[in-house]
Structures are given as C-alpha cells and as structure tokens.
Amino acid sequence: MAREYSPKQIELAVSTIKTLSIDAVEKANSGHPGTPMGLADITFELFSRYLRYDPKDPGWIGRDRFVLSAGHASMLIYSMLHLAGYDLPLEELKNFRQWGSKTPGHPEHFHTAGVETTTGPLGQGVGNAVGFALGAKLKAARFGDAFDAVRVFAICSDGDVMEGVSGEASSIAGHLGLSNLVVIYDDNKITIEGETDLAFSEDVGKRYEAYGWFVQRVDGHDHGQIRAAIDKAVAQKDKPSFIVARTHIANGAPNAHDTAEAHGAPLGKEEIAATKKNLGWTLPEFAVPDEVYALFKERAADNQKEKQEWEARLAEWRKANPERAAELDRFEARTVPADLYDVLLKALPEKEDATRNLSNAIQQVVAEKVPSLIGGSADLAPSTKTLIKKSGSVNTKTFEGRNLHFGIREHGMGAVCNGLALSGGIIPYGATFLVFSDYMRPSIRLSALGHLQCVWIFTHDSIFLGEDGPTHQPIEHVWALRAIPNLAVVRPADALETAAAWAIAMGRKDAPTAFALTRQKVPTVKRDAGFDPKSVLKGAYVAQDATGGKPDVVIVATGSEVQLAVGARERLEAAGKKVRVVSAPCLEVFAQQDAAYRDAVIPRGAKRVSIEAGITGPWRQWIGDDGLALGIDHYGASAPDKVLAQKFGFTVDAVTERIHSWLG
C-alpha cells in the first residue's frame, strides 16, 4: 500500500529533515543537532510509509502514535510534523526554543499538536509508549477490532535504555505481549560524557529478548534494512518489537559525526556549511524543496484513505453495537456522572475502617459509574486495596479486565499510566505505599505538568503503618507531593472524606490527584449538626466549631490526625477554651477557594495549630510562623502503631497538653 520512493527522493527528504533541524538549533543557539541527523533516515521511513495519521485532525482516535522518547532531539519531531503537514509553520521552527513558540526545547503534548507525549526526562517516553500500546489493546477488547489497527512507534536513545524506568515498562510490555508496539533504539554509541563504552557495555538487544521482545538489529542509515525490520516488527502477533538501529550521531556532518560534542550544542556556522556541502545542499536556511512537501502530501492523501477505511470499519461496528458505541463515546470523553458525589455519599461504608479499605469500597461504586477507570498496583493490591472487584485481571493477551498488575515496578507503573491517560478515554490509577511515591516521582511530575487525569493511590501514609519501620514510614512525602504544581493531594479522615477524594479526582479532568490513605483503622469524624457534606469538596471545612463564639484556637488537621483534633477539642472546651476543628483533606483545592471562604475557615488572625503525622515546616503557610505545628520532623521507628503514637506524642492526651500549655 505504501508508495515506493526513489533513492533521490529519499535523499532529498532526509537532507531536508537534517538541514531544518540543524538550522533551527543554530538559530536558537541552543539544542541538540546530532540526534535528529542520526535519526532522519528512520523517521523518514516511519512518517512516509508506516505511521497512520491525519495532520489536519491530530486527535483522530484511530491514529498510530509516534513517541520520541529521546525528547532532546525535539527538532526531529518538529521537522517531521512540519513536513507531514501538521499546523506547525516554518516560522515556528525558526522560533525553536523561544518564548511563546510551538517548538519548546523538549516536546510538550499539551502545547504542540501532533506531539503525543511530553518527553525529555529519559526513559519516560518508552513507558508512555507501553501505555499507548496497552491503551489500544484495552480499547480493542472493549470497543472492537478497529483499535487493533492502532500501532505505536517509539524512538529511544542510549539514555532511555539505561534508565531503569524503561526497563520496568519494557518488562511489562514483554509480559503482556504488546504486539502493537515497535521501539527503535538509536544505538549511536555516544552520550554526553563521550562514547558509551565509558559506562555502558551491555547487550541491549539481548536484554530485550530476555524481556520477551522480538529483537532485530539493523544499520540505521540503510533504508532497505530499516523497512525490512519494521515490516517484520509490525507483523508480530504476540510480542512487542525492539529494533537496535546502529546509527551515527550527526550523520552527514563531516567533523561532528560520531562525536559527543554534536549531542548538545549547535554545530556552528562552519560545520553547518561543511555539512550542507557534504549533503549537496545549496538551498538557503530553513528551505524545504517542493518535491519534499509533495511527497508528504501524497503520504497524507494515502493516510486519508486509510483513515476513511478505519472510520468505515468503526462505523460498521457502531451500527452492529449501538450500545457499545454510545459507551465508547462516553468512555472517550471520560464521562463522570454529575451526581457522582451524591451517589457515593448514599453508598458510604458504615463500618469504621482504615481509609485504604474505605477507599476500596467507594472505588467499587466509582468503577461502576466511570468505566474509564482502569488501573492497578505495583504488586501491592492486597495491601493498597485497589482491585475493582467485579472485573478481571489484564494479563498476557487478555485485555477485557480493568485490573492491571504492574509488578514491583512503581516507576514503570507511573510512566505506563501516563501513556494510558494520553491514549484517550482511560482514567488510569496506580497504587503503592506512600513512601514509594518517591520511586515514581518523575512520572507523577509529568502527569501534573502534562495535565493528565491520573489517580495516584498511596496507602500506608504515615508512621502509623507501624512495624515495617522507618524505611517504610513516610515523613516528608505528603508535603513533597503537595510541592508538585498542578497535583492535588487528598488525605481523607474517614469514609465521607474518602468519597470526596474520589469525587475530587474524578472531577479533575486536566490534572492528577494523589490520595494518602491509612493502613490503620480511623474513627468517623464527629461533625457539627448542620454540616454540609459538599463543604468537604472545598478542600477544608469546619468540622466542629467553637462553642459560643469566636474560637480561642483553630486546630487544622488531616487524615488520621483529625481524630486527635476532635479529641483535644473536647478536652480543651471542657477546660473552658473555645476550639474550632478544621479538617483539611486537600490543601490545593482549599487554596483555590476565594479568600473569604478561606479566611472564614482558617482566620488569619486566629491562634492556629496544625496536626499531621509528617514534617511541620510547610504547615506554617496555613498556621503562621507563630502557630503550633504538631508533627514529626525526624524518621520513625519500627513498633506497633499504638506504641509509636505514645512515643511520638500523637495521642489525645499529648496533643491536648501541647495545645493547652501553648495557649497558656
């Protein structure tokens, strides 16, 4: 079906990719010219022959996905998108890496049409590609074979394959037999510090064979070899493909060729002149020969036909499956019922329990109402309590279920979930212990930067996990997560607040939400009569107000420590103090309320106390630097949770006394 191009046509197009890329890096005086040059042959083949896309409809749900995991080679993707006919005019290429341009230093999917995922932090793109491929398989199992046509092509660098996250994700892909995934490894033997043999002498192809992939080795500048390998790769029925492409960085640049210097700095005017001479290139800067535009126009036209055929196939399925078709639309839109919170409140678990267990009960209702919710745990489902009970497991070649098994691979889980979110329609969740959020932090950050609706479920959220000791006890993690812009962290105190956590997460369509849930049982918060459950959705609210007027002290607490605030209030009120208890499950959402509400709940002028079993410093933004911050600023210890509560001052007695003596 693909057209044949003459060697001359290919050479001209490849030279165009190379010259556009080096011209843009030179003009920006910043960027990475060597890798686009080394990969121009491969990306030409991908975009001119394999990738199914519609540049005028970059969101076409049946499109193939292209992932440039080596995001530093961003000029490569910008050059390709421009040539392929996406809305990325030459002017944007000339503004590479400048304020306001569509061509930032690393590709950002939320910024540039045609960019499928945000890459740069190495290894993440490989994980995202696994997520895309898994997403297509999940959709094919739900919404028919059309989605089987969706393929994922990724290009990765030495750095990508050295990073552990790519190994974790690739192991998952091999296990699941994601045959719709082709990863091409830019084996150019050069990294920033010099030749890869400074630090890297493993047999990467063999490693991918060990993961269960179909592995081939080619000369990355030989178009016949590239095509033959990709043809075999896309023909695979039960394995993902890995193509080790031996390439040369700055291929075509007479002096920069095969050097580390070509990685991260402009080639310079002289070397550019020498390169263009070497390529037989006589056109001015940023020139694109008409023949090259014409070639990609033909490709776009061919792809239009493919798209129409695909749409026809889907339409046929829609006709035969009208209910599923409506479901597909709801799924793609990640539809959440408007009354979800009300539904959850009606179904609240009545028994007091750990919030991880309460969350699991509530999650069952969410899962019923929101089919987009699909996820799993890093081998901790029995502990994180995150299984969707009415659904099965996704496993090798079985993609009907909603429960994913990520293995003990938190970072891979994060990157795969991000890919699932990007693949459309899926609201992924990933679960582990809170302390291990550190293992996947780069992916959490990218979900926040990339506006992805992911739900990160972290349990065992404080020292009160007990006997596992300080290696497993979070101290700084809640605040470390709160530090990430665009991430909301919800630490619920009881069933009601856990329902609110899920409602908040389902409502944040353009941003991720993290939960911090307890291992230990917590009591239901006693709230004032007349309390409105909707106020929980504001992030913080008055759970119990001071009796008879303005409070002498406002105690702000979260999660399992709200019970301490409630207990201390009772004693302090008995001792004649007027005490307000504010429960603050989500400070980010609270911060978004108007100043009047914020000040009505936590008045600036009031004497304020915070209670949370974690570091105290950042609390002072809410309680002032003269407030009393009760928490723990050192590592915990291995002992039963009740002993730790005694030793570290997290009892009603201790808290009451601290507040009492502080109030004076």
Q: Which residues are catalytic?
A: 410
Q: Of the candidates 239, 251, 183, which has an alpha carbon nearest to the alpha carbon of residue 36?
A: 251
Q: Which three-class secondary structure string do you get for 342-363?
A: HHHHHCCCCCCEEHHHHHHHHH
Nearer to its own copies, 377 or 524 (CB): 377
Sign of CA dihedral 20, 26, 31, 37: positive
Least separation, in Å, of the C-beta of 531 and its own copies? Answer: 27
- Specify whether the backbone of 549 is left (phi greater than 0), alpha (psi in -120 to 50) or beta: left
Nearer to its own copies, 635 or 662 (CB): 635
Q: Of all helices (H) and strands (E), which one includes residue 94?
A: helix 90-94
Q: Of all helices (H) and strands (E), which one includes residue 194?
A: strand 194-195
Q: Strands of 403-405's sheet, edge to edge? A: 403-405, 373-377, 427-433, 455-459, 513-516, 488-490
Nearer to its own copies, 45 or 160 (CB): 160
- Phi then psi for residue 13, to 5 deg, are -65, -45
Least separation, in Å, of the C-beta of 574 and its own copies? Answer: 30
- As a whole number of angstroms, the distance between CA 156 and CA 640 comes to 47
Least separation, in Å, of the C-beta of 261 and its own copies? Answer: 9
Concatenated DSSP letters of 572-585 = HHHTT--EEEEE-S
Q: Of the candidates 593, 544, 598, 613, which has an alpha carbon nearest to the alpha carbon of residue 573?
A: 544
Show the DSSP H helices in 524-640 as ranges: 562-574, 587-591, 595-601, 620-623
Least separation, in Å, of the C-beta of 541 and its own copies? Answer: 20
Q: Which residues contact 101 (CB under 8 A, 6 or more apart)?
A: 92, 95
Nearer to its own copies, 149 or 378 (CB): 378
Q: Which amino acid is at 623?
A: I
Nearer to its own copies, 276 or 598 (CB): 598
Nearer to its own copies, 278 or 646 (CB): 646
Nearer to its own copies, 100 or 549 (CB): 100
Show the DSSP H helices in 321-423 as ranges: 322-332, 340-346, 355-369, 381-384, 410-423
Q: Of the candidates 647, 618, 613, 655, which has an alpha carbon nearest to the alpha carbon of residue 435?
A: 613
Least separation, in Å, of the C-beta of 278 and its own copies? Answer: 26
Q: Is there a contact between 487 and 446 (Cβ–Cβ < 8 Å)?
A: no
Least separation, in Å, of the C-beta of 425 and its own copies? Answer: 23
How many helices (H) and strands (E) the chain has is answered by 26, 20
Q: Which residues contact 254 (CB under 8 A, 6 or more apart)?
A: 271, 274, 275, 278
Q: Which residues contact 402 (CB under 8 A, 6 or more apart)?
A: 367, 373, 374, 375, 388, 391, 392, 394
Nearer to its own copies, 48 or 459 (CB): 459
Q: Is there a contact between 408 and 430 (Cβ–Cβ < 8 Å)?
A: no
Q: Which residues contact 323 (CB under 8 A, 6 or more apart)?
A: none
Nearer to its own copies, 66 or 78 (CB): 78
Least separation, in Å, of the C-beta of 529 and its own copies? Answer: 31
Least separation, in Å, of the C-beta of 429 and its own copies? Answer: 15
Least separation, in Å, of the C-beta of 616 and its own copies? Answer: 8
Instruction: Supply 292's token pair.
Output: 């090259």
Nearer to its own copies, 202 or 329 (CB): 202
Least separation, in Å, of the C-beta of 396 and its own copies? Answer: 7
